[in-house]
Structure 1
Amino acid sequence: MKKRSVAILFGGVSSEYEVSLVSAASVIRNTPADRYDVTMVGITRDGRWRRYTGPVELIEQDRWADSSYVQPAFVSPDRGHHGLVVPNESGCEIVRLDAVFPVLHGKNGEDGTIQGLFELAGIPYVGCGPLSSAVCMDKAVTHTILAEAGIPQARWQTVLTRDFRQENFAALEGRLRGALGYPMFVKPANAGSSVGISKAHGPDELRAALALAFQHDCKAVVEEFIDGSEVESAVLGNDQPVVSVLGEIVPCNEFYDYEAKYQNDATELHIPARIPDETAALIRETAARAYRALGCSGLTRIDFFVKRDGTGIVLNEPNTIPGFTSISMYPKLMAASGVPYSELIDRLFTLAIERMAQTSTEV
């Protein structure tokens, strides 16, 4: 069987640059070499695209861009190229691609921007389309759509930068306290990996939390605190998505922040989650409904809270390009569901190609 030519993108202009490097290294190592020829493409912190031909270890160490293994390259929006353009002394080399896996977390990676480029280029890509990517990236929009779909969520409020700067803070604090109560979570509307998220127990912490969130986005989402266990699901597929067994997270910190996710081995992961079978079934059914309501395709990790008082479940948030590191929940959950890492990568590329073919037929 002829190998497919694929590209794996990493890095990017995002606060989640470092996580992308580690995720991409895992994806590269687990892409079946007998089925795929892999081209590695890195995007520097300041947005320069480079084809990379060196050891995978240098990606993890963030030494890839300063090596002798890089040369300028970029994805062409011209469908005649259908791939990567690599300028050289004699002109340009065209690397035709069958599919791309953008292992790009956060802004410019899972917010619909890079997906729009691949749509223009006609190149199949792993993950959700431009609209669903943007919808799932913006927590306020996600809340709005899920509310319309009747999916249970935490109570929430949106705060814009101008609200924080221009509105009397006492009035703002009163509005949020009255709607949500303390403690409350403050999140940048457009960020992932728990970057910029704080738990506020009072007015002073709320002010600091909003200031931190606005370092990452011009819009913040403030949510009520849900006292519950954190349970995650992995969803895979296009028109007929399947939901994995569930995993439970017991964070080492007060909540599942960036350190607990990527830097502290004390965080506990339980697969399957330690919840009743009927609760697990409800979460899996709700995850599939949310996946369809948000227009997802390819893959998404969907996170929930199971309330400790036994009153039900709450959808926390979706993540359209979840972590793919060796300790990340998405590949772990799929492996526990009978889809080992290498097979998962193969399925994701296949789903990407099928989705683009279906879209082209419909057009």
Structure 2
Amino acid sequence: MKISIGLLFGGASEEHIVSINSARAILQALQIGNNLCKYNVIPIYIQRNGVWISGKIAEQVLQTKQALPLVLLKKEEKFQLWQFPTEVNQIDVWFPVLHGPNGEDGTIQGLLKMMQTPFVGTSVLGSAIGMDKIVMKTIFSQAGFPQVKYLTLEYSKLFSNAQYYSQLCNDIRTNLGYPCFIKPANLGSSVGVSKVSSHDELEIALKNAASYDNRIIIEEGIIARELECGVLGNDIPKASVVGEITFESDFYDYKAKYKDTSSKIHIPAQLPNHIIEKIQQMAINAFTTINGRGLSRVDFFYIEGTQKIFINEINSFPGFTESSMYPELWIKTGLEFHELVDKLIELALK
């Protein structure tokens, strides 16, 4: 009998459209070769308002490549937020193709664990660590990973206390310098990230980040190559080849990732063998540090002149679109897209 896959996508985060595109690519992979004989796919779309929808509407979202207008709830229908489509009972393995808050932060993983159904990807703790950059950096620091200098803050405290803001400005000037990067602690795809080149740009960048998350991280800006490595597995994970991203924009923001054709992926990255091996081992170590499962993409900064490597972040469910780095890394490592999707389901079942 075929294994029923619950393809869960959409969600309430700012990465809603990225999720749809990732799910569309995975659906196509599940309809290729042996996968077509092995799996029965049940698409379930989570609207931005949290309502779960299956059937023709979910299929239509994947076909149109974009979010549909909300199927709004009437007041007396609010209970539907906690009522799942009947197809949920048929699902053998969940494939939660969700990025950002409520999808990649342990929230959905906790729900799926309560359903007592296997799911692709890292469980609750690892997902929460990977999503929250402040917690992640704290744990990576404790584990001894080299990182660029950074500061953290709660935006709600920032302008209620003049001394707090003054001290922050002094800390940035003294410890980080300009340029620096302002990021919301809980978000992906570079949403809400700003490059700040002077004190005059600071307040606007903080407000932009705070529109997504009250907790904010400020990172030192360095001139470095941006490298990424995929990890695949459970207890004995393996690392992919190392890839590099180059871009013409000021930094690798959302537009550069998904819209700018000048951004390029180079796989494999041209690096000395000992640097490649070090990055691959660091990627595996980062994965095991957060108790990763299934997949992750680990991002690094590499300063060529000094051969210093800094870990930037780990993504417990990276972008899975046709042009995303994670599947491309594994294709160049020798695992085709549809084989990678099949392997992830196998790891979930294990």
Taking structure 2 as the reference length, what is the TM-score of the superposition?
0.91
Asked if the contact 1:73/1:85 (under 8 Å) is kept, the reply is no
1:134 aligned residue: 128
Asked if the contact 2:49/2:70 (under 8 Å) is kept, the reply is no
Counterpart AA for 2:149? R
Separation in 2, partners of 1:320, 1:273: 22
Separation in 1, partners of 2:287, 2:246: 25
| 1:38 counterpart SS class | strand
Distance 1:324 1:64, change over 3 A: farther
Counterpart check, 1:107 vs 2:101: yes
Which runs of structure 2 are paired with 1:137-286 in the superposition (5 Å)? Answer: 137-168=131-162, 169-286=165-282
Separation in 2, partners of 1:56, 1:209: 33
1:24 aligned residue: 23
Distance 1:73 1:278, change over 3 A: farther
Separation in 2, partners of 1:74, 1:165: 36
Task: State the identity as a percent.
Answer: 41
Which runs of structure 2 are paired with 1:323-362 in the superposition (5 Å)? Answer: 323-354=319-350
2:112 aligned residue: 118
Match of 2:51 among 32, 48, 52: 48
In the TM superposition, what is the alpha-carbon distance from 1:65 to its structure 2 partner?
A: 6.1
Distance 1:75 1:3, change over 3 A: farther
Which runs of structure 2 are paired with 1:33-112 in the superposition (5 Å)? Answer: 33-53=36-56, 54-55=59-60, 57-63=62-68, 85-86=85-86, 95-112=89-106
The size of the alignment, in residue pairs, is 335
Asked if the contact 1:299/1:320 (under 8 Å) is kept, the reply is yes
Asked if the contact 1:51/1:73 (under 8 Å) is kept, the reply is no
Asked if the contact 1:10/1:24 (under 8 Å) is kept, the reply is yes
Separation in 1, partners of 2:272, 2:323: 25
Counterpart AA for 1:34? C
Separation in 1, partners of 2:124, 2:259: 31
Separation in 1, partners of 2:17, 2:62: 13
Counterpart AA for 1:15? E
Counterpart AA for 1:51? S
**Which one has a larger percent helix, Structure 1 or Structure 2?**
2
Distance 1:127 1:338, change over 3 A: same
Q: Tell me, which stretches of 5 or more residues in structure 1 are unaligned?
A: 67-71, 77-83, 87-92, 355-363
Show structure 1 runs of 4+ deviating over 4 A.
72-76
Asked if the contact 1:107/1:190 (under 8 Å) is kept, the reply is yes
In the TM superposition, what is the alpha-carbon distance from 1:74 to its structure 2 partner?
A: 8.0
Separation in 2, partners of 1:324, 1:18: 12
What is the root-mean-square deviation in Å for CA atoms of aligned residues? 1.8
Taking structure 1 as the reference length, what is the TM-score of the superposition?
0.88
Separation in 2, partners of 1:345, 1:247: 20
| 1:245 counterpart SS class | strand
